[in-house]
Amino acid sequence: MTDGGARAAAILLAAGAGKRLGAERPKALLPIGERTMLAVAAAGAAASPKIGAIVVAAPPGYEEEARSCVEGLPVPTTILTGGRTRQASVRAALTALAADAEIVAVHDAARPFAPPDLFTEVIRAVEAGADGAVPVIAVADTVKRLDGVRVVDTVARTELGLAQTPQAFRVQVLREAHDRALAAEEKVTDDAMLLERIATVVAVAGDPMNFKITTMLDLARAEARMGGVRA
């Protein structure tokens, strides 16, 4: 159930192979504690009162396993086969949204600890008038611009932020942006990149614990958190 405002859905991207982890199974289906990354991420999305439905882009060949990870969620959940790229998975998931879905929150299942409030906040930012909203955390370290190994400049940290997911968008605007990117063969690393030069994308406060699991060290940190150990 939503808490008023536009009807919103969540897309969970879980089709990544996780090659950098060296695992034999897709990354989102790896356990952290007693649950998979996908199960933890989906529960967080479903707990937001703004989310009325979830679409999961599952690893090809693992659709039924992905379905078992999201059984019992309090919102309708659709499983579909993810694409070969992140963009392809988002495009496929957009076609599965309900006709009345006005806002969508796109989230990487490899960030299983995104809290429900983060889904709520990015959706509220779009309800307030933005075309897109991105969680951002401040850059703590001094940032250098390099030319090979040569340091050529220091970048002002006040102008920088580290982007996270979930990122929320107006559904029609995101669909049009993906269509343009496909026609132009443009490749991006997150969906906000498709909009930020041509539409209004705003930042909301991110969550330092909403880290992405990419390496074995990240996986160990996630397992420690699920076990109640501070990592």
State the DSSP code for 104.
E
Q: Fold for domain 8-226? A: Spore Coat Polysaccharide Biosynthesis Protein SpsA; Chain A (3.90.550)
Share of the chain above pLDDT 90, in %: 85
Question: In 14-164, where do the E strands start and end?
Answer: 31-32, 35-36, 51-58, 77-81, 103-108, 132-138, 143-147, 150-155, 161-163
- As to burial, measured by CB atoms within 10 angstroms (0-12 exposed, 13-18 middle, 19+ buried), residue 47 is middle
pLDDT in tens, 25-74: 899 999 998 999 999 999 999 999 999 999 999 999 999 999 999 999 99
Tokens of 58: 């599952």
Q: What are phi and psi of 146, to 5 degrees?
A: -115, 150
pLDDT in tens, 140-155: 999 999 999 999 999 9
Q: What is the spatial distance between Cα 137 and Cα 143, in angstroms, rounded to a whole number?
A: 15
pLDDT in tens, 5-15: 657 999 999 99
Contact 10, 114 (CB under 8 A): no
pLDDT in tens, 77-96: 999 999 999 999 999 999 99
What DSSP element (H or E) covers 226?
A: helix 216-226
Confidence of residue 1 (pLDDT cuts 50, 70, 90): very low
Boundaries of every domain in the chain: 8-226
Contact 169, 126 (CB under 8 A): yes
